[in-house]
Amino acid sequence: MAAADAFTSAPDSFSWFDIVDPDGAELDRLRVAFSMHPVTVEDTMHRRQRPKVELFDEYAYVVLRPLTLTTEPEVALQEHEVHVLAGREFIVTLRWTPEFPMQGVQARWNRHPDMRQAGYAIYVLLDEVVDDYLTAVEALEDEADDLEDLVFERDGEGDADTLQQRLFRLKRDTVVLRRSAMPLRQGIDLIQEDAAITTPAMAPYFRDVMDHVIRVVELADNVRDLLTSLLEVRVAQAANRLNEAMKSMTAWAGIVLVPTLIAGIYGMNFDHMPELSWQLGYPSALGLMAGSAVGLYVYFKRRGWL
Amino acid sequence: MAAADAFTSAPDSFSWFDIVDPDGAELDRLRVAFSMHPVTVEDTMHRRQRPKVELFDEYAYVVLRPLTLTTEPEVALQEHEVHVLAGREFIVTLRWTPEFPMQGVQARWNRHPDMRQAGYAIYVLLDEVVDDYLTAVEALEDEADDLEDLVFERDGEGDADTLQQRLFRLKRDTVVLRRSAMPLRQGIDLIQEDAAITTPAMAPYFRDVMDHVIRVVELADNVRDLLTSLLEVRVAQAANRLNEAMKSMTAWAGIVLVPTLIAGIYGMNFDHMPELSWQLGYPSALGLMAGSAVGLYVYFKRRGWL
Amino acid sequence: MAAADAFTSAPDSFSWFDIVDPDGAELDRLRVAFSMHPVTVEDTMHRRQRPKVELFDEYAYVVLRPLTLTTEPEVALQEHEVHVLAGREFIVTLRWTPEFPMQGVQARWNRHPDMRQAGYAIYVLLDEVVDDYLTAVEALEDEADDLEDLVFERDGEGDADTLQQRLFRLKRDTVVLRRSAMPLRQGIDLIQEDAAITTPAMAPYFRDVMDHVIRVVELADNVRDLLTSLLEVRVAQAANRLNEAMKSMTAWAGIVLVPTLIAGIYGMNFDHMPELSWQLGYPSALGLMAGSAVGLYVYFKRRGWL
Amino acid sequence: MAAADAFTSAPDSFSWFDIVDPDGAELDRLRVAFSMHPVTVEDTMHRRQRPKVELFDEYAYVVLRPLTLTTEPEVALQEHEVHVLAGREFIVTLRWTPEFPMQGVQARWNRHPDMRQAGYAIYVLLDEVVDDYLTAVEALEDEADDLEDLVFERDGEGDADTLQQRLFRLKRDTVVLRRSAMPLRQGIDLIQEDAAITTPAMAPYFRDVMDHVIRVVELADNVRDLLTSLLEVRVAQAANRLNEAMKSMTAWAGIVLVPTLIAGIYGMNFDHMPELSWQLGYPSALGLMAGSAVGLYVYFKRRGWL
Amino acid sequence: MAAADAFTSAPDSFSWFDIVDPDGAELDRLRVAFSMHPVTVEDTMHRRQRPKVELFDEYAYVVLRPLTLTTEPEVALQEHEVHVLAGREFIVTLRWTPEFPMQGVQARWNRHPDMRQAGYAIYVLLDEVVDDYLTAVEALEDEADDLEDLVFERDGEGDADTLQQRLFRLKRDTVVLRRSAMPLRQGIDLIQEDAAITTPAMAPYFRDVMDHVIRVVELADNVRDLLTSLLEVRVAQAANRLNEAMKSMTAWAGIVLVPTLIAGIYGMNFDHMPELSWQLGYPSALGLMAGSAVGLYVYFKRRGWL
């Protein structure tokens, strides 16, 4: 397992083991080496765990669900899963494909050799994960602003269904983000209770991460409320536009049907219809038709139906 | 009652009695044998109890409402009901038709003869029930994903009412699932307070089940929120489609009514209508009609009304 | 007041006084006999009190708002009001027209002469009231199931407003039920604190009633959520049906207007219209009209607009 | 300031000062006489304070926002504001125009000279204010019942916008009422902690007022839920009615356009149209038109489109 | 840094440093001078922090998000950010462009030289910030009242989309305001726990600010609920108006199409149509058309369709 240890570069009393996509044999060795409780063993074998912190006698078990932004093929959230076993003299991180990138964590860990203890390791990891949440929630805010502009754009009717779908997808992403971040509030409280892995001096650090978690959750709630309002606005807008379409249809129907009625009148076969024998009867009738059409057009235009 | 005891295969100081569809006589014998409290007796005689844990001096009384997935005639949730009486030296499980399958529970129980105590029995049972909840909630998530695809499918208008009904049914299933799982949170806390049936060593196990219960509830909340959003999207979509239908109707009405007006004009009976005597009057009129229809078609096509 | 005492049939150290529609004089005698606090006196003189439990030095004051099902002229909830004064050696129940039927309570009370104490009396009363709530909530569930079937019935458009009204009335009944049952949770907790009227041996009984209260509230919440979803579904359905009506109208308009256009064409008065002098001109024109109508009908039928 | 003292009619150790629309000078004298804290002084100088109770060393400061019903020009809620300074030997009430009427309070205060202490004074004032809330919430319930009848009235379409507006105004009044009453729950708890102004014997009185506050809030919540449901019903109803209007329009269009088509057919100019020379051709054609119109009318009537 | 100190004009044991848009060097000097914790240093370097109070051994760190009203180009909320470091003998305020104006704070600070301590400084700052919130929330209430009038205005259909947008923007501003004020509730509680920066004598002041914060939050909730109701009303109104437009269209179609049918009838070519040879046939037909049109107009007018 020494090969898996990507972080601890010097002989040290505290070791960090990082394993990507552990197989059964590796998990088995871990189980024996760190006397893992059966329920922890069970949890490490299944994906899609809830973010949580569980304190055992020998170690703390932390499950994180980091989110990163991918840009290919379009901007989207990428879900990761990281499990952490933290004891007095070691920390083990388990990652699965798509693996959460830990370069930032490693760099900060190596920069402070004086703080090599599980509490600090967990803090650094949490801080990076929560910073990624903040990046993600800001991307969601940007998308929400774009959608808001589209909703209120005058000729924004172009592709109503696509807009609806983007609103929906964004709302779902917001829920994923919230669900990943929210349980950390309770988790961070729990970590600080474990004297074996953290010290009072770490308290301001964890309080700071906690504050960022709350900010992530609040911003996500914001985005969600905004999207809910936008969806409501969409419904009201659609009803307005239907109204306008209905009026415009009524107006155009009148403009075509009134001349049709006039034509119908002069198509009647009465023996005594003086206009029919007038020299200017036909142009007058055409003029009447045109006049009624123009008159209706002007009338409806003024009432704002066209 | 020995016949009903499906589990305890060896003479043992701890016994598990499992009874399916107990009749009055059996309940009566149970009542005497385990000195059941009158309210417990009352509860065992009625179906559709709430999931709960009640601690009595001599025993703990647990009501579970397991859910399993059936696939015949279609994928649906099957509700079960299991009552548990757990004392220091015995556990009784009462099941009713459709009976909750306990093979998995039995296998795990027999695999660990060293852990034969009521706390472990309840844990195994809870764990199996909650695992079934997880299976169920994942099936609900799959159905929700299918429905989402259907909602955003371009020509997904085919059977709007059926889609609505599936959305509604899924929402109802989600509520059933949530209501079955939710009360276990409080119940699991209560079980751990009863020193007679559980030991501190069981704590991590119960904490693990608790965590799974919370996950079930969170995932169910997720599905529900998603369905609520989908229903909102449906309303907005229906309004959009109505708009489109209205525009398309306006366009087609114009395409038919304008040539009708032209025909009406040349159907007028004026004595002096020079076009009528033209050699090419008729084809010209037909050409004018066709031209106006094509012109309107192109115009409306460009505006996106067709 | 002895005449009002419907329950205590034997000379006993504990007495139950039951008074229906007490007048001022009776309330006055009660006030003196049981040294009622001014605020209790005040409360007994006004109807539509909130369900509650108030502990005084000499007695506990309980207000209940039972609900029973009436079937005349239609199934509906009947609201009742019962006030209870419970002391160490007496219990007084005040009822008002429409009076809550207490035969069940009386029968259970007489069946257990060994348990004659205020705590048991309150338990029996609560249990009967809460059982009636369960009966009521099950009736509401049945009504909700009926409405669900009506909503998803294919030709269920028959009387949309009546359906809406039943949905609304049911929702209101659910709220009434919830409001009647909910305050009992706090009340039952309070009763158990009063050592003067109850004993620890009563605890499982009250816990059982509490469990039923919670079940009533949860089932009522269920019905309410279901109704909210049904109302949302109704809106989406109405929009769908409007869409369908619009399409069907467009289709029929086309089927009538295209032949009208053809008739208009052959009604033109051009001198040179070869078809007019054809021997089969007229039947051909009729055929063309019929053909276009049938063609459009088939076209729209295939697109699902008819 | 003796002139302002409207209540204390006899030389007494406890004094009640009541001032309407106090000016700067009066507030200044109060400040000195009762050693008011700067923040209390500040608060008494601004209107639209939140209802609250604040305990200071020398006095308790209570802000109330009573509501009364006015009937001119229409039934509406009238908001008032009353500030109370209550010490061991005095109580000061400040009122502003439109002043909250205190005759009821004064009468009750004078009726119980034995209970002259700040706790009782505050209780009487609270009780009157909360009774006015109950009167107000019952008026809102009546208005809600009226609106419900209007919503479900068959021909209730008369003035849809006015109905909408009444629903909206009522909802807003309900919110005002709730906001005025809600903070009193916390406030009443606080008053009882202050041994200087109240005694344990007052506890049942305050508990009774508290119970009424909760009832006001619950009834207001009820009205609000009912109004929300009514607004939802309105949307569904409007969609239904649109559907009906659409169907009725389709039916009438058919009834007019089919005879128009028949007239168009017999207006064609074919040389060989045998019907044209029939003696009864014209009446037959009229009969055909009438027959088709009647046939369509009967057909649509049966389908419920008319 | 002395230059940055805008407030402390006399040599004093307590100093207030105010820095606008601090650069890296200034933050560095601060860090050393006041032994700031690394997480505080980190926080001061990033904008858009959550409002919060964090207590450290040497100082309290307060983040505020003041809001002011701007009137150019239109009335809008301007967001600011202020960080405060408060110790036993100093207070540092950091502000960023657009800088929150502190003249009011400075004036009050200078007016009470006897109260120069961090607790009072924070109180004055909080009080000014919360007063600005109150001003802002009142401006939002005014805008909401305007929008309400527009919604219920008879001919208020003029610019539906703009109205929608104003409703949406106002709702968003309300959320911003609520999010800025809400965290202060917890923050003010925290400040009072820090004996190093505040004294019990400050308690009434902080309680007063707390009360104003709650009022801001309640008023903002009010505005939000009102806006939600207005959006619902808009949807119902749009549906009503669509209904009216549909009816008016049906009516006008009838008024034009019935005369068209009459003209069609007298355009038929039957040999035997007695009316055709009547002397008054043509004027009679015109009269019939006019009569039917007027009759329909009157009919629809009476039914309220026009």
Measure in Å the smallest separation between the Cα of A240 and chain B Cα atoms. Answer: 10
CB-based contact E269 D266, cutoff 8 Å:
yes
Looking at residue E12, what is its pLDDT? 57
- Say how far apart CA C151 and CA C143 lie, in whole Å: 12
CB-based contact B164 C237, cutoff 8 Å:
yes
Give me the mean pLDDT over the B192-217 stretch.
90
Tell me the two tokens of residue B143.
């159905």
How many residues are present in chain D? 306
- Is a pLDDT exceeding 60 seen at residue D32? yes
Greater confidence (D240 vs C226) lies with: C226
Of D215, D250, D270, the CB nearest to C285: D270
- Say how far apart CA C58 and CA B105 lie, in whole Å: 54
Looking at residue D68, what is its pLDDT? 94
Distances (CA, A) of C136 to B63, C75, C180, E159: 23, 10, 12, 50
CB A128 within 8 A of CB A176: no
Looking at residue E298, what is its pLDDT? 95
Burial A220-253 (b: 16+ CB within 10 A, else e): bebbbebbbbbbbbbbbbbbbbbbbbbbbbbbbb
- Measured CB to CB, residues of chain B less than 8 Å from chain A are 148, 152, 154, 204-205, 207-208, 211, 214-215, 218, 222, 225-226, 229-230, 232-233, 235-237, 239-240, 242-243, 246-247, 249-250, 253-254, 257-258, 260-261, 264-265, 267-273, 304
Tally of CB atoms within 10 A around C272: 14
* Closest chain B residue to A239, measured at CA: B239
CB B128 within 8 A of CB B105: yes
Q: In E, which residues are within 8 Å of D172 by CB distance?
A: 226, 229
Q: In E, which residues are within 8 Å of D285 by CB distance?
A: 268, 270
- Say how far apart CA A262 and CA B270 lie, in whole Å: 13
Tally of CB atoms within 10 A around D181: 26
CB C242 within 8 A of CB C234: no
Q: Within chain A, which residues score under 50 in pLDDT?
A: 1-6, 9-10
Measure in Å the smallest separation between the Cα of B213 and chain A Cα atoms. Answer: 11
Residue of D257, D102, D262, D231 lying closest to D169 (CA atoms): D231
Measure in Å the smallest separation between the Cα of B193 and chain A Cα atoms. Answer: 19
CB-based contact C267 B268, cutoff 8 Å:
no
CB-based contact B264 A263, cutoff 8 Å:
yes
Q: In D, which residues are within 8 Å of C306 by CB distance?
A: none
- Say how far apart CA A247 and CA C113 lie, in whole Å: 79
Beta pairing, strands C90-95 & C82-86: antiparallel
Cβ contacts of E32 within 8 Å, gap of 6 or more: none
- Say how far apart CA E156 and CA E241 lie, in whole Å: 12
- Say how far apart CA E191 and CA E60 lie, in whole Å: 8
Per DSSP, the residues of A43-56 read: HHTSSSPPPEEEE-
Give me the mean pLDDT over the D201-220 stretch.
93
CB-based contact A261 E264, cutoff 8 Å:
no
Looking at residue B2, what is its pLDDT? 41
Helix (H/G/I), strand (E/B), else coil: C273: coil
pLDDT, tens only, E173-195: 999 999 999 999 999 999 988 88
CB-based contact B268 A282, cutoff 8 Å:
yes
Strand partners, B76: B70
CB B76 within 8 A of CB B70: yes
Measure in Å the smallest separation between the Cα of C242 and chain B Cα atoms. Answer: 7
Give me the mean pLDDT over the D249-271 stretch.
90
pTM score, two decimals? 0.85
CB-based contact D50 E215, cutoff 8 Å:
yes
Measure in Å the smallest separation between the Cα of B193 and chain C Cα atoms. Answer: 17
Looking at residue C157, what is its pLDDT? 52
Q: In D, which residues are within 8 Å of C266 by CB distance?
A: 268-270
* Closest chain C residue to D153, measured at CA: C161
Of D52, D175, D238, the CB nearest to E240: D238
Looking at residue A123, what is its pLDDT? 94
Tell me the two tokens of residue A24.
């059964």
Of C39, C179, C256, the CB nearest to D254: C256
Burial E128-150 (b: 16+ CB within 10 A, else e): bbbebbbebbebbbebbeebbeb
Cβ contacts of C124 within 8 Å, gap of 6 or more: C105, C108, C109
pLDDT, tens only, E107-138: 999 998 888 888 999 999 999 999 999 999 99
How many residues are present in chain A? 306
Q: What single DSSP character describes residue E79?
A: E
* Closest chain B residue to A43, measured at CA: B208
Q: One-letter amino acid identity for D261?
A: L
Residue of D254, D122, D286 lying closest to D197 (CA atoms): D122
pLDDT, tens only, B239-288: 788 888 888 888 888 899 999 999 999 999 888 888 888 888 899 999 99
- Which H or E element spans position D102? none
Interior angle at CA C282, CA C279 and CA C284, nearest 5 = 90
Q: What single DSSP character describes residue C99?
A: P
CB-based contact E267 D269, cutoff 8 Å:
no
Q: How confident is the model at residue E1 (pLDDT cuts 50, 70, 90)?
A: very low
- Asked if the ipTM is above 0.85, the reply is no
- Is a pLDDT exceeding 50 seen at residue D189? yes
CB-based contact D54 E272, cutoff 8 Å:
no
Distances (CA, A) of D202 to A75, D27, D115: 65, 30, 10
Measure in Å the smallest separation between the Cα of C152 and chain B Cα atoms. Answer: 7
Question: For chain E, what percent of residues have pLDDT higher than 70?
Answer: 94
Strand partners, D32: none
Q: What is the pLDDT along chain C (306 residues), one digit of tens a residue?
A: 344 444 554 455 788 999 999 998 999 999 998 889 999 999 999 888 999 999 998 899 999 999 999 877 777 899 999 999 999 889 999 999 899 999 999 999 999 888 888 899 999 999 999 999 999 999 999 999 999 988 888 655 557 778 888 999 999 999 999 999 999 999 999 998 888 888 888 999 999 999 999 999 999 999 998 898 888 888 878 778 888 888 888 888 889 999 999 999 999 888 888 888 888 889 999 999 999 999 999 999 998 888
CB C54 within 8 A of CB C60: yes
CB-based contact B269 A264, cutoff 8 Å:
no
Tally of CB atoms within 10 A around C2: 7
Q: In D, which residues are within 8 Å of C263 by CB distance?
A: 261, 264-265, 267-268
- Say how far apart CA A233 and CA A102 lie, in whole Å: 42
Of E222, E250, E260, the CB nearest to D249: E250
Mutate to test the interface with A, among E35, E43, E52, E161 (most CBs of A within 10 A): E161
Instruction: Determine if the peptide bond prior to B98 is cis (ω within 30°).
Output: yes
Residue of E138, E97, E106 lying closest to E7 (CA atoms): E106
Q: In A, which residues are within 8 Å of E172 by CB distance?
A: 226, 229
Tell me the two tokens of residue A195.
């004297």
- Say how far apart CA C30 and CA E114 lie, in whole Å: 64
Give me the mean pLDDT over the E146-165 stretch.
77
* Closest chain D residue to E233, measured at CA: D164
Mutate to test the interface with A, among B123, B130, B225, B232 (most CBs of A within 10 A): B232
Looking at residue C234, what is its pLDDT? 83
